[in-house]
Structures are given as C-alpha cells and as structure tokens.
Amino acid sequence: MSLLTILEFPDPRLRKKAALVQTVDDALRETLDNMIETMYEAEGIGLAATQVDVHKRMLVIDVSEERNNPQIFINPEITVLDPEPLGHEEGCLSVPGFYELVSRPCKVKINALDRDGEAFEQEAEGILAVCIQHEVDHLDGKLFVDYISTLKRQRIKSKLEKEHRQHKTAASA
Ligand code: GNR
Ligand code: NI
C-alpha cells in the first residue's frame, strides 16, 4: 500500500467532475486501499478520489471511534430522506486548518457499489450523513467552502495560497 498526496484548495483539480466507474477490478481496489490508508494517516473521517487527483466516482469513509470500520462507496447516489437541515461544523483535508458551520439534509439514503462491484443501499443520519454528502460533493467538484460567504472563502483562499508559497520557498531553499 502507499500514501497518496491530498490536493489542497484552491487547486483547480479539486473542481473536476469525476466520471462513473465502469469496472470494479483489482487496480481500482488497490487505489481504494491506498485511499483508506491515506485517510487514516491524515486522520480524516472520509476521503473522495478527487482529493487524490483520481477523477472517478468513489470514496472511502470511517466514522467509527476505533478507526476500524472503513466503508467504500463506488458510484454513490444520494436520495434525501429528510430535508430537515442539520448544521455541523465541517472541515476538509483539502482545506486544512479551517472549520465552518454547514447545513445539509439530516437523513439520506445512499445507493452504491461495494468493493466487489455489488450494489447496496444504506441509510445515513448524523455525522455519517454529513460526511457522505461532503464526499459526494467532492466528486462533483464542490467544496464545503462553497457554502460559506464569499468573504470567508476568499480569506481562506489567500491564507492557504500564502502557506503553499511558503512551503515551496522552504523546499527550494
Ligand atoms: O475528516 C473530515 N472531517 C469532517 C468533519 C466534518 C464534516 C466533514 C468532514 S470530512 C473530512 C475529511 C475530508 O475532507 N473528506 O473529504
Ligand atoms: Ni473534504
């Protein structure tokens, strides 16, 4: 297994729309295993393929306390079961260090394929519902900062751009 590099806002590659997965094969499973390893290493509760510059509709999630229940969703489709907004403080491995309140439907259903390419359906509430919607947004080129004010988003963009410049300078010094 190997760790993958996580793209950071405002990288334009985070805006690409991911394509449907046509075949669930060993190569795809290897990428998914690397995504799981990368998610654990980064201490995230989810990771979408877009974040590691793989533009296929798939994501991994682990919302368990023990960090021992990785879930894989390939070609996920979300259906809202209860549109009542649930506000949650969101963060993102692609927007490191920033947290903002985002409201999303509180209960959803996900139809997806598992690692064997078998279709399954799952209902989600609470943090799992928040996380799945956050990850599927990534596959559509959307980030949680798109839900906050333009001013806040611009501030986050400037701060991250400055950090990226400083890292580049430090690396070449
Ligand atoms: O690790 C993560 N935590 C988190 C917290 C609140 C709402 C969403 C998330 S997802 C995030 C990992 C990530 O960036 N996934 O795309
Ligand atoms: Ni994210």
Residue with tokens 């798939």, as numbered in its chain: 58
pLDDT at 72: 98
Nearest CA to ligand 1 atom 13: 92
Q: What are 39-56's pLDDT values in tens digits?
A: 999 999 999 999 999 999
Q: Is 48 in the pocket of ligand 1 (CB under 6 A)?
A: yes
Pair 47, 32: CB distance under 8 Å: no
Say yes or no to pLDDT of 173 above 80.
no
Higher-pLDDT residue of 170, 27: 27
Specify which residues 108 forms β-bridges with. Answer: 80, 124
Q: Which of 134, 144, 146 to mutate to test the pocket of ligand 1 (most atoms within 8 A of CB)?
A: 134
Instruction: List the one residue out of 44, 53, 45, 54 whose CA is nearest residue 8.
Output: 53
The helix/strand/coil state of 91 is coil
pLDDT at 169: 82
CA angle 79, 109, 101 (to 5 degrees): 80
pLDDT at 172: 79
pTM higher than 0.95 for the full model? yes
The ligand 1 atom at the shortest distance from the C-alpha of residue 95 is: 14
Active site residue 135: yes
Nearest CA to ligand 1 atom 6: 90
Q: Is 128 in the pocket of ligand 1 (CB under 6 A)?
A: no
Query: How buried is residue 33: exposed, middle or buried, by Cβ count under 10 Å (0-12/13-18/19+)?
Result: middle
Q: Which position among 8, 125, 135, 163 bears the catalytic label?
A: 135
User: CA-to-CA distance for 9 and 158, rounded, in angstroms?
Assistant: 10
Instruction: List the one residue out of 74, 100, 71, 72 whose CA is nearest residue 88.
Output: 100
Say yes or no to pLDDT of 83 above 90.
yes
Pair 74, 21: CB distance under 8 Å: yes
Cα of 132 vs centre of ligand 2, distance in Å, is: 10
